[in-house]
Structures are given as structure tokens and as C-alpha cells.
A = this chain, B = another copy of it.
Amino acid sequence: MEHRTGTAASVQEAPVPDALSVPELLARGRKLCTPPLRSAVARLAAPMDTVAAYHFGWIDRDGTPMAGDGGKAVRPALALLSAEAVGAPAVAGVPGGVSVELVHNFSLLHDDLMDGDETRRHRATAWTVFGPAQAILVGDALATLGTEVLLDAAVTGGASATDAARAVRLITTATRKLIDGQAQDLSFEHRDLVTVEECLEMEGNKTGALLAAASAIGAVLAGADDRTADALERYGHHLGLAFQAVDDLLGIWGATEVTGKPHWGDLRQRKKSLPVAAALAEGGEASRRLAAELADPAGRGEESEQQLAARAALIEQAGGRSWTQEEARRQHKTALAALDEVPMADEVRQRFVALAEFVVVRER
């Protein structure tokens, strides 16, 4: 299990008032964004509406309604908060929260299919239940709805036409980066060696871009100037990189729910994550042994627990684990520094800080 309390060192000490606790911020995002999200999805032609509802966890495969909360919903919470950053009510960020959630789920639907992943959040992925064609189609539809809900905001008066168009640009740029990142991730599968820089670029595209958009889109809809939007985007971008660094650590040393022991999951899949890239870059004895092991096609996919534990130890000896822990701290700090550039009410800043800590400090 990865205890990452150290990353919280730079967090401000001001207590977060009860009314603004992270669970409540997340609950507010879900409460305000889920109804319009459901309305948007309900516009889809059958059976796409059903496939989407299954994917979001609103119904099971038989169509029975489920009480599932559809994930943590960090992105909608950030979108609402970013409206508050410029003094607007949280509700001004709702179209942005719905949009980022639609785009996020478009990418999940397509990535699960491309990667051949059969489960997500302990449920069968949509393509395994409804077939690849429906997963492609519904992913396409969600991405398109992600633009529509922003354009609708201009029609219903939720935002000016100019600000809605700026929000469309924000989400479109993020979507393209998301796609670039997935292309890079897929290409890494065919390579033995990936540099730290390539890995960071991929993670910036795949994780940083949409969190950047989420952190600025509410502010943009509420008329933020470019400088404010840019700083909020950087907060989200670096938060995404911090999140991903922690995710890469948990992907190797994270504990399974059952045994409480490290599962070495990313090592089993030979995933080119930050700890591996950093260890390979170090160049010492452990680093060279790791490189030789990874270049050897023999035994690929058949490694024993012992072999995987030994490989994790090599990564740790070559400094891959500590470098990535340091990187998570750096990115977390940079995210908070970007926040300091934006003048905002203290309680709003505290919410951003608390959400950042929640995203970065995780145990699995």
C-alpha cells in the first residue's frame, strides 16, 4: 500500500469548513450535473441511450435502475468550483461540468475497447455487453453531446455566445490532447523503452488535459479573462500530472483489496509508466539489469509473483519509486502555485486546495 501523506506537506493549514468538505464538493457536483447529464444522454437515439445509461452506471445490463453514483466525479466538482473562482455561483459551471463528464466518458468507452479492457469499476465494460459497434457509436455520441451542451448554454442564457464558444474551444483542445495521449499510450505498447519526457507528455495529454479544461471551464463560462483561465488550466494540468504519478506508483506498489499486498499490476502488463521510465533513465547497475529484463522476450506475461517483486525492487533500487514520489510532490506544488496567481475568495481557494489534496493523496 502506498502511503502518500508526504505529498500534503505543501498544503495550507487553514481548516476546510464543514460545508465545504471534499465529499460535499463532490456530492454537489454530482447533484447539479447529473440531471442535465441524464437529459443530454436521453436525447440519443435508441439503443444508444441504454448503452450510455449502462456505461454511466445508471442501469444494469437488464435495464434495472442502479443506485451507483457513477464514480467520484472530480471533474464536475472542479468545473463548479472554477465558476466560483471568478465570483460566479457554482451553478454557472454546470454546462462545463456536464461537458467534461461527457468527454471523459467518451474516452473511457473508446479506450476500454481499444485496450481490450473487460472490466471497469468492477463492472463489465460496455463493449463486452453491447458489442464493439455500440461502444464506438455511443462514444462518438457522447463526445458530440459534450460540445452541444456548451452551445446550448448560450441559447438558454447560461453563458454569453462568446463565452460558450471559448468553452467549446477549451473542450475541443482537451479532446484532441486526450486522443493524442491515447495514440502515444498505444504506441508505447510496441516499444521496450520510453523516456521520462515521452511518458510525461503522454500523461499530460491523457490525464492533464481534461483536468485542465475542467478546472477552467466554469470560469470561462462565467466570463473569466484569459489570464485567469490560463492559470486555472495550469492548476488542473499539474494536478492531473500529480494524480497520474500517484496512479503510476499505485499501479506497481498499490495493494489489492483482498490481500492488502502489492499487486504489481502494471509490471505484469509491462506498462511503460513513470517509475519504470525514471528507473531506466538512471543508468546504474539496477537500471541496466531492469533494461535487460524488459528487452528479453522470454517469459513475457508469465512472470511469477517472485519475479515481479524482484523487478519492483530493481525499479526501487534504480530510484524509479522515489523519483516518481518526488515528481508527484513537484506537480502538486506547481498546481497550487498556479492557483496563487488567481485572486479569489479564501473559501474558494481552500476548496481547490482540498480537492487537490484529495486527488493526489490516495491509497489505491
- Give the interface of A toward B (CB within 8 A): 44-48, 106, 110, 113-114, 132-134, 136-137, 139-141, 143-145, 147-148, 151, 154, 161-162, 164-165, 168-169, 172-173, 175-176, 179-180, 182-184, 186-187
Alpha-carbon gap, A45 to B185, bound state (A):
11
A213 to chain B, nearest CB (A): 13
Whether A114 touches B143, Cβ cut-off 8 Å, given contacts A161-B162, A165-B165, A168-B168, is: no
A133: nearest chain-B partner, CB-CB: B114
In the A-B complex, the 7 residue pairs with the smallest Cβ-Cβ separation, listed nearest first, are A165-B165, A114-B133, A45-B180, A45-B183, A147-B172, A144-B176, A141-B179
B147 touches A179 (CB 8 A): no
A187 touches B46 (CB 8 A): yes
Number of this chain's copies in the assembly equals 2
A115: nearest chain-B partner, CB-CB: B133
Alpha-carbon gap, A137 to B180, bound state (A):
9
Give chain B residues whose Cβ lies under 8 Å from the Cβ of A46.
Answer: 183, 187
A140 touches B184 (CB 8 A): no
Alpha-carbon gap, A180 to B48, bound state (A):
8
Instruction: Report whether over half of chain A's contact residues are helix, strand or loop; otherwise say mixed.
Output: helix
B172 touches A144 (CB 8 A): yes
A144 touches B45 (CB 8 A): no
A195 to chain B, nearest CB (A): 15
A145 touches B176 (CB 8 A): yes
Q: Which of B106, B136, B151, B161 has a CB less than 8 Å from the CB of A113?
A: B136
Alpha-carbon gap, A273 to B248, bound state (A):
51
B136 touches A151 (CB 8 A): no
A136 touches B136 (CB 8 A): yes
A142: nearest chain-B partner, CB-CB: B179
A151 to chain B, nearest CB (A): 5
Alpha-carbon gap, A66 to B114, bound state (A):
29
B187 touches A47 (CB 8 A): yes
Alpha-carbon gap, A143 to B47, bound state (A):
22
Alpha-carbon gap, A153 to B192, bound state (A):
41
Alpha-carbon gap, A151 to B151, bound state (A):
13
For the complex with contacts A147-B147, A147-B168, A164-B165, 4 further pairs of A-B residues with Cβ separation under 8 Å are: A113-B136, A133-B186, A136-B139, A141-B183
Give chain B residues whose Cβ lies under 8 Å from the Cβ of A134.
Answer: 186
Alpha-carbon gap, A169 to B153, bound state (A):
12
A148 touches B176 (CB 8 A): yes
Alpha-carbon gap, A151 to B167, bound state (A):
11
A147: nearest chain-B partner, CB-CB: B172
A155: nearest chain-B partner, CB-CB: B169
